[in-house]
A = this chain, B = another copy of it.
Amino acid sequence: MSKGLFRTENEFVRWLQTLAARAQGQESAQRPEKGVKLGIGDDAALVGVRNRHELILTTDMSVEGVHFTRRLHPPIAVGHRALARSLSDVAAMGGVPRYVLVSLAISKEVTREWVSGFYRGMMALGRRFGVRLVGGDTALVAGRTFIDVVVAGEVSRGKALRRSGARAGDQIFVSGPLGLSALGLRLLQSKAARARTLAPLAREAVQAHLYPEPQCALGRFLSQRRMASALMDLSDGLSTDLFRLCAASGVGARLWAAKIPRPELLDPEDSLQLALHGGEDYQLLFTVPRRKASRLPSKFQRRPLYHIGEIEASKAIKLVTPEGNVRTLEPAGWDYFR
């Protein structure tokens, strides 16, 4: 028995069923509701998918020491971030997230309070997005905690937005400021975040890092109105993700550095580097054909959409610096293999 965690797997499953039922505001997590025919506790989950809809499936890992640390990230934030990664993938297809499964290899070093905080953080975010926890897997392991979050979502048949639809002449947009999450992580690492009074920008950056907000409503708007030719989420940094979008579409791009929304820092070059290469912003990156651009609202849900560049036929990605120079932009965001 590992001190204070759970005595048996059955005890863990019952504990989780109760927690899920409370957090999700229903009497029993196994009571069929909202498409859930069978939730936590059987061999598998059983859910409904609406007619004339396609199923979106995505899975994202969060590994202790890679995506989070127990020192810098409170368990509620670990749960929030782990689910936010997958919700953002569904947003990036223009879909609606519906169900979540969580595989959790719990380090023997963590407490029951940590596990509880993790699930509460995840379910609080899930509840806001109408997503139900329906299953998963659990193990107890020596060493680091390992999380894998699976989200299943739906999108009207034929309406999903891919990375591969961008064409020369399309306008490039992002849904919000870039580099905030990377700045927040830097502040957390430097202990500056623990100062009693934080500047508003620092507070915003730490919040963006710990509690990123998936852009599901915007993704759905873009897909249902058929506004975007290509869509993806910014998880690994603009330079790396735009490179992927361009590669999938067989095109290049020209970005205007001056137009990229980013934190105002004393060192403008530092700010630009964070915006170009800092990951985990979970804003949406999308392209809009020129003839549709006039129909794109300047704001969505009171937040501005930023026109940051254009798709070009030549396959390079060019950056027009604030000084007006043009240089080639190489993918330099997050990559495990580097």
Contacts and interface: CB of A to CB of B under 8 A. Distances in A.
Interface residues of A, number: 74
A37 B152 contact: no
Interface in A129-166: 134-144, 146, 148, 150, 152-153, 155, 160, 162-164
Contact of A152 (B152, B155, B164): B152
A187 interface: no
A58 interface: yes
A236 B43 CA distance: 12
22 contacts: A1-B337, A5-B337, A8-B337, A9-B335, A12-B337, A41-B163, A44-B58, A44-B92, A46-B55, A48-B54, A48-B55, A49-B55, A57-B135, A57-B150, A59-B59, A59-B135, A59-B148, A59-B150, A63-B105, A138-B336, A143-B144, A146-B146
Given A42-B162, A58-B101, 7 more contacts: A10-B247, A41-B163, A44-B95, A46-B160, A57-B134, A57-B135, A63-B146
Interface of A: 1-2, 5-12, 37-38, 41-49, 51, 54-61, 63, 65-66, 89-90, 92-93, 95, 99, 101, 103, 105, 134-144, 146, 148, 150, 152-153, 155, 160, 162-164, 232-233, 236, 244, 247-248, 331, 335-338
